[in-house]
Structure 1
């Protein structure tokens, strides 16, 4: 019995030595950047995604419920909601807009298909392949970067759930080059 106890004690001692000497050493906290960001896209059959400006001046997506009578919402309707500005609740949360109040609606021409010929598809004009064309009633060339981003990202996500469509903005003062949401 003594031999059994001695063997067990030797086994425990050996195990402890292995655990202590396994080579893992204490270290300081290692900074690895900001928190993980997970893109969340609302279901286009239930919500529209609008881009406003957050309290920090950076773009902030806001999902709003859709009127189920018009699902999915046309891009022009989504942009009209954007131009209507943030709701009272959104403003209370520090969300703003850099866009002018629109007195006139926007016109949207869907993206031309890349495989379309020189004249584009029927109902789709030729132009920048894969770019949606948005015409506003106000000047776009004098808008700041945040305002342009609001329009571009809202239109891009209205056309494509992942926002991968380029947008050409045209206003009373001319057009901006095709721009992607970034």
Structure 2
């Protein structure tokens, strides 16, 4: 019995001396500031309750940018923010967009977990070589939303073949994985 008592006492002493202080009440712990950028990301707006992910272009790479907003944007608003391009601070960081002139967007709607982007016909001679970046910006931005798993592009209600990062044409649906080769790390 004494051996069992000695083992119990030794166990209590070991646990009491493990370096973890005891408190009478729980301590408040503050979370570190976030979001946490990964290589190839930038945070342009530190204020706001909601984080909006946008993909822009720098040095032939898609770069993830986080903006902080007071309200969570709808999918239509989110796409409108992307189409508006980088703000002044983002442009000062060397960010640009491939969207103007490469891809025109007429609208977007959610069908289940898929964003369907309407792309009107292009004017002859308006094609650009950075079209893959434009489609990559849209796909990566929209699939960064929790409710969007994939993106499809439609023209006159029919699936549109668009370039993936590997140069192949596909009618989708597309995910960020289709453009991972274009993702940059600074």
- 8 Å CA contact retained: 1:84, 1:101: no
Tell me what 1:175 maps to: 160
Trace 1:86-101 onto structure 2 (pairs within 5 A). 86-100=86-100
Tell me what 2:83 maps to: 83
CA distance in 1, matches of 2:81, 2:101: 11
Which structure has more strand as a fraction of its residues?
Answer: 2
Trace 1:25-174 onto structure 2 (pairs within 5 A). 46-54=50-58, 56-66=59-69, 68=70, 71-100=71-100, 106-112=106-112, 130-137=113-120, 139=122, 144-158=131-145, 160=146, 165-171=149-155
- 8 Å CA contact retained: 1:80, 1:106: no
CA distance in 1, matches of 2:63, 2:40: 12
Q: With structure 1 as the length reference, what TM-score do the two structures score?
A: 0.53
- 8 Å CA contact retained: 2:49, 2:68: no
Alpha-carbon spacing, 1:85–1:157, altered in 2? closer, same or farther (3 Å): same
Alpha-carbon spacing, 1:131–1:98, altered in 2? closer, same or farther (3 Å): same
Alpha-carbon spacing, 1:60–1:179, altered in 2? closer, same or farther (3 Å): same
The number of residues matched between the two structures is 119
CA distance in 2, matches of 1:96, 1:72: 24
CA root-mean-square deviation: 3.5
Q: With structure 2 as the length reference, what TM-score do the two structures score?
A: 0.52
Moved over 6 A (4+): none
